[in-house]
Structure 1
């Protein structure tokens, strides 16, 4: 995207959403608003009934954006800096609310004027064209845009610069042969990162009731577990996308989460919204082949995870209790899908074990955050001085999970299920080893943001978990 010396006398108008930045501030503002207070969602239809301009103004009046954290298109910004240094007049012409547009303009310091949506007029398509023609004349400006809404403006511009075009804009560009700035292609890897497919392994907990009931070879149960796994995994991915939408601002300020597909602008918000619909459709479709009890557990999971994304994750201690419960819900889902009863021992072990890992997650966040006393982690309910008590509670939960497991192993239920109960005893020290190793590495600052993901990827943890699983199966099958 190169500047040209003969352009200095012609103003350059630039669109904002999708052109200068790889996101849409209307959607981002809406997510900020709902996160601030979910009840605002019920006001959206009333604002929209008064027109798009009123909706945009209502959102902008209630939330603020951080222009420094937005995913700018580097090639476009570099071109604007070059044109600005050459003395060219640059105009930010956008359908975004004026408040947001002026914040971006002030941050970049490259624009001579701003044309944006106010409470009366939605400055898109024909209205944007009229405003630019009124200011500079037909053919008296160059224009950079990206979507079908910009086609009328392209027609009125002296020159068009098509940036990361949608289908209609790409067709227009091909017909007119104008300058273009291509967007990075959406890859399978990017979509997989959006879905967080590595997190799907957590849903293998669905098979735990079947395994503990020694029904490894029951085809009906295997099929039920597979369908439940698909249903839970696709539902979880849909919620991950929702969570990403609500955390866009926080993720962009995080050293690693800023590279997530939506935070970085690698994927568009509309793409994510369509993906949510498709994922939920697949999830519901798989659930239709399973007992009603599974559907109820799945519905409860969706409600709980949505509540977590909107509010619970910012609540002291309630957030980690919720995370532990959500792991345990996966076990309950497996029981509902297969018809296997789960024991109190299993649920108690699960709560303590996953509570410990949830506390590790918060502990790592505290360790990696630069906080002064009294300051909270962004988007969380924890302060710098909470670090030690979080570690103590987490290690206590780890030992509690091992204690529950040991008591279970010594119970009459185990003697009935396993011909050789002594073969199950190593599971208690295995659990202690895994959890205490995670805590030691966390205190050494060698832990991944998510300890469950760490365990899944760590070869030592894999080896120990495999050994424990083989012992469990062998104890059940040994004559």
Structure 2
């Protein structure tokens, strides 16, 4: 059982929540409840989940030494020894091959997006995570690839304002995650665990957080103007952004998935947004 638990921890299934981004285009486009649409998106969701787990495995393999200096990540399977390096290597290769080969049967555009996601993910783990600002954009592109993949799978055009909103929100969350790590690790811990943090001057990540948060509010508001019923979700968006900033500045985890699942206010806001949008699109 310990071996199974360690493998599940390596795969990080809770992070698959991010792959729900694939369903945003049909959900916001009003076609998600059309017969067969959810089924149509199930395989792509699974394939992106396999691809994201492969990316996490490669990252853990390359970060073993650095993770040993982290107060929380030192308990990860590869560092603690509950899972072997060979197991992680076999899993990463198998998941990557399965995701790419299976993606071919979904469609060409989807396959290219999966390949692009894996390329950026592996490049990030190998070297790009050590380059300031580039690391933020690498994390953000992961969300964009999911969004565009959803548009490709369901044959729905992603609007410019939605694209910009997701891009800026992703940068906002990336900056929050980095700022949270910088605050938790301190200067000594940052130098030994995540070197890129030492290249961010004091106040820079705060500035990125506030700038992108403000920009998200503007682009999302512009998106809602073409969908009148969505305008009433803007206050929820504003509350969620401010709550996340408060969470990060209070020294809590800035990981987007953990923040959503562990912060009851953010969970309520997320659920409330989904219900309001769903009622506005499908309830009329």
TM-score class, shorter-chain normalisation, is: over 0.9
Residue 243 of structure 1: which of 34, 59, 73 is its match? 59
1:115 is matched with none
Structure number having the greater strand percentage:
1
1:285 CA drift (Å): 4.8
Q: 2:234, 2:144 → 1: CA distance?
A: 19
Partners of 2:127 and 2:38 lie apart in 1 by: 36
Higher relative contact order (CA 8 A, sep 6+): 2
What's the RMSD between the two structures over aligned residues?
A: 1.9
SS of residue paired to 1:386: coil
Shift of 1:436: 1.4
Question: 5 Å matches for 1:27-66?
Answer: none
Q: TM-score, normalised by structure 1?
A: 0.56
- Give the alignment of 1:316-355 within 5 angstroms: 316-355=132-171
Alpha-carbon contact 1:186-1:267 (below 8 Å) kept: no
1:197-212 matches, within 5 Å, as 197-212=13-28
SS in 2 for 1:289: coil
The 1-side partners of 2:265 and 2:271 are apart by: 10
Question: Residues 39-69 of structure 1: CA distance to partner in whole angstroms, max 9, x if unpaired?
Answer: xxxxxxxxxxxxxxxxxxxxxxxxxxxxxxx
| Equivalent residue, structure 2, for 1:96 | none
- Give the alignment partner of residue 441 of structure 1, picking from 241, 244, 247: 247
Residue 459 in structure 1 maps to residue 264 in structure 2: yes
Structure-1 residue corresponding to 2:89: 273
Q: How does 1:169-248 map to 2 (within 5 A)?
A: 186-248=2-64
Return 463-472 or 220-229, whichever deviates more.
220-229
Select the structure of larger CA radius of gyration.
1
CA drift at 1:460: 1.8
Deviations 1:264-296 (A, max 9, x none): 111011111221233224323542331111001
Q: Measure the CA separation in 2 of the matches of 1:431 and 1:206.
A: 20
Partner residue, 1:31: none
CA contact (8 A) 1:367 1:387 kept: no
Q: State how far apart, in whole Å, the 2-side matches of 1:327 and 1:287 are.
A: 18
**Measured at CA, do residues 234 and 326 of structure 1 come closer, stay the same or move farther in structure 2, by a change above 3 Å?**
same
User: Whole-Å Cα distance in 1 between the matches of residues 225 and 104 of structure 2?
Assistant: 39
1:351 Cα offset (Å) = 0.8
Matched, 1:288 2:104: yes
Whole-Å Cα distance in 1 between the matches of residues 262 and 103 of structure 2? 29
Match of 2:74? 258
Unaligned regions of 5+ residues in structure 2, if any?
A: none
- Asked if 1:395 corresponds to 2:201, the answer is no
Q: Distance in 1 between matches of 2:195 and 2:151?
A: 33
Q: Return the alpha-carbon distance in structure 2 between the equivalents of residues 219 and 190 of structure 1.
A: 38
